């Protein structure tokens, strides 16, 4: 049975911990309570990994860090992965891996296949991730893509890390914007019937409003012409738009387990019940006829109104009720993916959760910055209200799902992003997603070429990986080993952009190997006159193909076989 290498860092940290226990015993001291940090040195001459454990424990042992490092070095247990351990000033311990580790890494990848990179840090904990949640007031535009792709990718990463994830879309079908939507559709409906009615000054201008009104005319004729209640128009439009949103999301490979209506919280009395619950806990107080949440008590800059003096509820009231409902459903962790315009809203939402009596660590709000679209050298502003926007469906049709997903994951959520339309359309190695997909396609083409040459790959167990001595080959192996570590980091930080960064680095290492040495790229990997070397390199390529496919699939991108 192939030995599984989940994370070299964890293995080294365990060895350092053993050395610390032994060193403490020799010093007659208790082992220090520290979190051991294993990092990759920026200067590769120092080795493959390093730890600053000696500097972390200098005060504990009351010794010079370098002296501690020298002592720890001698106590690190022998391990087949480690070739050399050195101590350097001011107190680092450096590790150089044994080249034989490459064989274990490649065999491990190929044994685990699609499971390589997956973790179990979540241990089955239930997570609800709420994302998108755009008001159903119009078609999705490219600005919505960042929320959708970020939320879905976080969900995918958490699933790969052992969490049980539920995806939820919470839509506002009870607020002011929905009223404006209803008024807009009603006006266009009446105009379609030939009636001279004004269009609301702050209504939704897009052609999609006319399309919805036209559909309503074809279905209901003039039956609604005398209707003054806008709810019929609002509900009709919302249902139509939600179906469009769902279709767009499915095209993107995104599905939602639940669609949650804000209006349902009001209809079933959960908002009122939550307000009464908070009153009972003395977390609400009355002032000037309004009810206030004691949010300042939990770190907000001031207390917030939840029920106005005219009994109208603010946005915060149903939001608190919604989060209570989430916890009542038994979720261990809640994740909200929110646009940058919600940054100031997070503290009051966190205060509401704490006022309910929940641990604030059980709610994580991921706030992403808005997107700037650059097309033909011109910055395009995105506005559903004005009707001037490029729909998400148009983006998918012109650029493709893979390109859009990859581009929106190349930056951290809190970074400003410029979406360069021309670069996204470029089908060359200048385009990051094609750069990565080309690496996977090259791997597939090498196996196809091997078949044409009558070369059969014997598998990882029947090859000598020690023949892979080129520095470019060793660099590819080191990059391959990193995937579990990157998945773990992405899951712990809720930052899937680490996956795209890793993919670019891994692809770069392979392209460097592919284009090095002989001009005959195929000859570099397939040498009938050197069968042992050919088998070793095919094993490397097979592990690379599997790792690229796993990482791409992890963020919803197709690993293509030819370009």
3-state helix/strand/coil string of 167-212: EEEEECCCCHHHHHHHHHHHHHHHHHCCCCCCCCCCCCCCHHHHHH
Provide long-range contacts, Cβ within 8 A and 24+ apart, for 176-179: 177/135, 177/137, 178/135, 178/136, 178/137, 178/234, 178/238, 179/230, 179/234
Q: What is the pLDDT of residue 233?
A: 95
Low-confidence ranges of the chain (pLDDT < 70): 1-7, 380-389, 517-522
Cα gap 170→337, rounded to integer Å: 11
pTM greater than 0.75 (yes/no): yes
Domain boundaries, the chain: 8-98, 131-267+369-425, 429-554
User: What's the CA angle centered on 532, arms 531 and 534, to 5 degrees?
Assistant: 60
Provide long-range contacts, Cβ within 8 A and 24+ apart, for 525-531: 525/446, 526/446, 526/449, 526/450, 526/453, 526/455, 528/453, 528/454, 528/455
Q: What is the pLDDT of residue 166?
A: 98
Going by the DSSP 8-state scheme, the letter that residue 32 receives in this structure is P
Q: Locate 206 and state its tokens.
A: 């897009």
Q: What is the pLDDT of residue 383?
A: 54
- Peptide bond preceding 90 in cis form (omega within 30 of 0): yes
> What class has domain 8-98?
alpha beta
Q: What is the pLDDT of residue 268?
A: 96
Question: Quick one: how far is CA 99 from the chain centroid?
Answer: 33
CB 266 within 8 A of CB 325: no
Q: How many angstroms separate the Cα of 555 from the Cα of each of 444, 510, 549? A: 20, 20, 10
Q: What is the pLDDT of residue 523?
A: 72
Cα gap 79→87, rounded to integer Å: 17
Write down the CATH number for the domain with range 429-554.
1.10.730.10
List the alpha helices (DSSP H) in 409-459.
421-425, 432-452
Q: What is the pLDDT of residue 382?
A: 58
> What class has domain 131-267+369-425?
alpha beta
CB 113 within 8 A of CB 56: no
């Amino acid at each position: 049975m192939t030995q599984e290498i989940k994370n070299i860092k964890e293995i080294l940290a365990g060895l350092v911990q053993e050395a610390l226990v032994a060193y403490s015993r020799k010093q007659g001291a208790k082992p220090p309570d520290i979190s051991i940090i294993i990092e990759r040195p920026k200067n590769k001459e120092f080795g493959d990994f390093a730890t600053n454990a000696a500097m972390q424990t200098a005060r504990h042992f009351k010794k010079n860090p370098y002296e501690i490092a020298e002592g720890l070095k001698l106590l690190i247990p022998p391990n087949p992965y480690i070739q050399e351990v050195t101590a350097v000033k001011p107190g680092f311990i450096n590790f150089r891996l044994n080249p034989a580790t490459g064989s274990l890494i490649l065999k491990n990848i190929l044994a685990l296949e699609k499971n390589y990179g997956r973790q179990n840090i979540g241990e089955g904990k239930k997570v609800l991730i709420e994302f998108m949640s755009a008001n159903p007031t119009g078609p999705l535009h490219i600005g919505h893509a960042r929320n959708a792709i970020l939320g879905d990718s976080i969900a995918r990463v958490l699933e790969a890390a052992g969490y049980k994830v539920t995806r939820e879309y919470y839509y506002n079908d009870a607020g002011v914007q929905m009223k404006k939507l209803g008024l807009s559709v009603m006006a266009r409906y009446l105009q379609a019937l030939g009636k001279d009615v004004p269009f609301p000054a702050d209504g939704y201008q897009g052609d999609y409003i006319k399309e919805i009104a036209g559909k309503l005319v074809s279905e209901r004729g003039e039956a609604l012409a005398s209707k003054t209640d806008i709810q019929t128009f609002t509900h009709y439009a919302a249902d139509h738009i939600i179906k469009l949103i769902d279709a767009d999301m499915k095209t993107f490979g995104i599905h939602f387990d639940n669609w949650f209506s804000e209006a349902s919280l009001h209809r079933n009395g959960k908002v009122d019940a939550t307000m009464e619950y908070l009153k009972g806990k003395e977390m609400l107080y009355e002032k000037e006829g309004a009810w206030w949440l004691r949010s300042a008590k939990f770190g907000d800059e001031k207390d917030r109104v939840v029920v106005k003096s005219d009994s109208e509820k603010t946005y915060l009231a149903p939001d608190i009720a919604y989060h209570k409902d989430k916890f009542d459903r038994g979720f261990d962790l809640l994740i909200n993916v929110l646009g940058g315009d919600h940054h100031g809203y997070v503290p009051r939402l966190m205060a509401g959760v704490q006022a309910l009596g929940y641990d604030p660590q059980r709610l994580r709000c991921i706030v992403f910055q808005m997107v700037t679209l650059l097309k033909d050298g011109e910055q395009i502003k995105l506005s559903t209200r004005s009707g001037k926007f490029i729909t998400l469906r148009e983006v998918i049709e012109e650029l493709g799902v893979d390109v859009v997903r990859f581009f929106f994951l190349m930056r951290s959520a809190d970074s400003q992003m410029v979406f360069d339309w021309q670069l996204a359309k470029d089908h060359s190695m200048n385009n990051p997603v094609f750069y990565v997909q080309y690496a996977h396609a090259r791997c597939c083409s090498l196996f196809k070429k091997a078949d044409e040459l009558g070369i059969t790959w014997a598998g990882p167990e029947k090859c000598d990986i020690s023949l892979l001595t080129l520095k470019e080959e060793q660099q590819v192996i080191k990059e391959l080993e990193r995937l579990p570590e990157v998945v773990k980091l992405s899951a712990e930080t809720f930052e899937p952009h680490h996956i795209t960064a890793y993919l670019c680095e891994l692809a770069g290492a392979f392209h460097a190997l592919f284009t090095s040495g002989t001009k005959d790229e195929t000859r570099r990997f397939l040498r009938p006159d050197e069968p042992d070397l050919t088998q070793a390199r095919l094993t490397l390529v097979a592990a690379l193909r599997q790792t690229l496919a796993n990482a791409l699939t992890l963020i919803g991108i197709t690993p293509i076989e030819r370009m």
